[in-house]
Amino acid sequence: MTMPAQEAAPTAAERRAARQANQTPFNLVLALIASLGIVAFLVIVVVRPEMEPRTVDYRANAAAAQAQFGGALVVPDLPAEWTANRAEPTSATADGVARYDIGFLTPGGQYIEYTQGFDANPTWLAAQVKGASAGPGITIGGIRWTVYDRRDAPDIGNVAYALVADTDAATLVISGTAVDAEFEELALAIAEQVR
């Protein structure tokens, strides 16, 4: 028994529609794979130059900025393995504290910021140590430093640990992510300039 032509036509049309419906997702997957292949090729082939870390002459910058401050800037003398990636004055902020900042990359590849604040107040200091509570005091190079340890905080950022000293000239803050020995080396270099 043969089927009439009228019954076979809808079946062929249905198959054609089903095939076209299946081709749309298939074509999309093929286009996606081709696009990812082009992106991968470009990432592999494009040459990216290696960036050297930015370095600044923090001693020269401090000498140039000295006239902006009422007190003498204390600029540490560190070995060549210590590089500064920024050294700049910050004019008095809303809390009335003028400061000079130096950002150091340590020999161990960590970051330490040294800040000298003039006419510092508790609000300014709390911002510098990210609200950490004062810990024990230690003496390095004849200067008494207060320890602020945030290494157990959930989000330490660039201030995992800090040392703070009040001198006749200013409030000195060392903060960063380096190891204790590097903090001590910087504190000692600062103490030598304060004496």
pLDDT at 93: 65
Residues 165-189: b if buried by 16+ CB within 10 A, e if exposed: beeeebbbbbbbbbeeebbbbbbeb
Nearest residue to 87 via CA among 101, 74, 97? 101
Q: Which residue has the tokens 């043969």?
A: 2
193 phi, psi to nearest 5 deg: -80, -30
| Local confidence band at 169 (pLDDT 50, 70, 90 cut-offs) | confident
What is the 8-class DSSP label of residue 162? E
Residue extents of the structural domains in the chain: 1-48, 58-194
Residue 119 or 6, more confident: 119
The pLDDT tens digits of the residues spanning 99-143 come to: 899 999 999 989 999 999 888 888 888 888 888 888 899 999 999
pLDDT at 10: 62
- pTM for the model stands at 0.70
The pLDDT tens digits of the residues spanning 15-62 come to: 777 777 667 777 778 888 989 888 888 878 776 666 666 788 999 999
